A and B are shown apart, each in its own frame.
Chain A
Amino acid sequence: MALQNPIMPASGTFGFGEEVAAFAGMDLSRLGAMVGKTATLEPRDGNPQPRICECEGGMVNSIGLEGKGIDYILEYNVPFMASFGVPIIFNISGFSLNDFALLAQKANSVKAISAIEGNISCPNVEGGKIPFGSTAKAASEVTTVICEVTDLPVIIKLTPNVEPKSMIGEIASAVEEAGADAISMINTVKRQNIGGIPFCGLSGPPIKPIALELIKIVLEQISIPVIGMGGISCLEDVLEFLQLGCSAVAIGTANFSNPLIMMEIINGLEKYCQDNQIYDLTQLRGIVE
């Protein structure tokens, strides 16, 4: 899967593109890819209020995977996203291996979808309270079940909430070995009891150093591409992730304080390439094989 540029939204900060497309000055056909909010098997209400709060120079959220469920999303949201002619990365999450298999199977049958992103940060109900993404074994199992049912490229989205940090390398290797085509990282960083929210995830500028540190560890251990994210809010941040070795990047929280940030970054990146006489875009173009 080749992207026209390495810029895409992070899951959960873009909806399914409809509200974003309504902004004058936003041209979704210029994105490298589109990434929808996580789809779950069944419709979900998500968590009660409060759900978001600023903290540490970023924000925490505890949305709780609110959504209308995969069947609705495939019927109503995906066709809209498909109308812009850029690759659709379909983000899924389940509470059991079987959920992931069913979700991937459903997504696999939709032609407009270019890749599946497995969000393995949410708690694995079958195995207790621990997310699939926090052990190499569970991460590998999820990857295997998704890869078994789809011919689409599979991206596995890693959680930074692993102990010790070096474990992230083992998890990434296990995911690669299990057949993933790419890795995306990082999801939000665990926090507790912020602004009345018992369990939540931090995003935005304060997690950028964590993202860079973990991505560096992962890049040393695997050969599949990495889509980097975590606190990216300007062109300089994008270049930092690309120079580290990411093949593409995703913009999350920054979309909230500037709805046109992705357009501005794409323009900035084009200009940067011209100014620096980067004619061959291979270093900067997102390539997820």
Chain B
Amino acid sequence: MKMTEEIMEVWSGEILKNLQRATDIFEVEISCPFDTKRFSPGQFVSIAPLAQESVMSRPFSISSVHDSSFSILIKTIGKNTDLLSEMQKEQIKVWGPCGKGNPITDLRFDELWLIGGGIGIAPLVFFNKVFSDYEKECRSGRGRVRVFYGSQSEEDLDFNLFPADSVEYSTDDGTFGSPGKITELFIKEIEMIRSKKITVVTCGPNIMMRQIARICKHRDVPCFVILEQPMACGTGICLGCSVKMKSGMKRICKDGPVFPAEEVIWDELT
């Protein structure tokens, strides 16, 4: 699997497609002038602010890559995501690949569990693709990928992201899939596991990741978390996203955004 490239590209990306996928969720396809194989799951791109009054770049995880473009999945929560959701065929300034990519070097797991809460599912779509392809290539019968995708309600779920047989849904209001929090579904499932070796990657609200990390630790399951902090540069320069971790200060944008869960001091995150 590909390691992070050192060179950071800056380009004018064309919005090739922009499709609404769920309430407030859009899939935006952006042109890419370099080999998209350079993107690794977990990495993100920074988008120059679109709103007149914004000065900080906007980070978005790569959710899928195509021949000469890639897609991001955005949730409209404010001025820039609102503007982005309305763009068609326009050019935006983009830079990346940002951050370190896939951290999973030990591939001797029976199952890879990807647990996403809300828009936190975005980077896991890319993880799913890469590891499902890998499993198929190996044909070892090991390395199956299982996705757990939770949201508040059915209307917030994007059903285009995963093949039906690899994903389990949950909704807080019980309108689709397993009723309740995604963490409850996770606990139920992990308690049924006896001898399988599981590796977990999770992205979503900190409270959710924290709980998953705690359970994984308890059961000796390797767990990686994809973290978020407000970012200004997205490239390790401003120290705006820097947080204290067990091994010292880490920049989420440059040293992450994927970290081994045991590195994280949860109370240090906002």
Contact = CB atoms under 8 A, between A and B. Distances in A.
Interface in B211-243: 229-233, 235-243
Given A54-B54, A253-B55, A61 B238 contact: yes
Contact of B7 (A22, A49, A57, A257): A22
Interface residues of B, number: 35
A255 B9 contact: no
B95 A23 contact: yes
B261 to A, nearest CB: 18
A1 interface: no
Given A14-B237, A49-B229, A256 B95 contact: no
Given A23-B8, A24-B10, A52-B232, A66 B55 contact: no
B237 A59 contact: no
A257 B56 contact: yes
A52 B240 CA distance: 6
A131 interface: no
B46 to A, nearest CB: 8
B48 interface: yes
A240 interface: no
B210 interface: no
B6 A22 contact: yes
B235 to A, nearest CB: 5
A19 B254 contact: yes
B240 A61 contact: yes
A25 B10 contact: yes
Nearest to B233: A256
B56 A54 contact: yes
B100 to A, nearest CB: 13
Nearest to B49: A257
Given A23-B95, A196-B270, A257 B240 contact: no
Q: Which of B10, B49, B233 is packed against the most chain A CB atoms within 10 Å?
A: B233
A284 B55 CA distance: 27
B57 interface: yes
Nearest 10 A-B pairs (CB), nearest first?
A: A52-B240, A15-B237, A256-B232, A19-B236, A49-B270, A57-B53, A204-B55, A256-B233, A22-B8, A50-B270
Interface of B: 6-10, 48-49, 52-57, 93, 95, 229-233, 235-244, 249, 254, 268-270
24 contacts: A14-B237, A19-B8, A19-B236, A20-B237, A24-B7, A24-B8, A46-B239, A48-B244, A48-B268, A49-B269, A51-B240, A52-B56, A52-B240, A57-B55, A59-B55, A61-B240, A63-B239, A256-B55, A256-B232, A256-B238, A257-B49, A257-B54, A257-B56, A259-B8
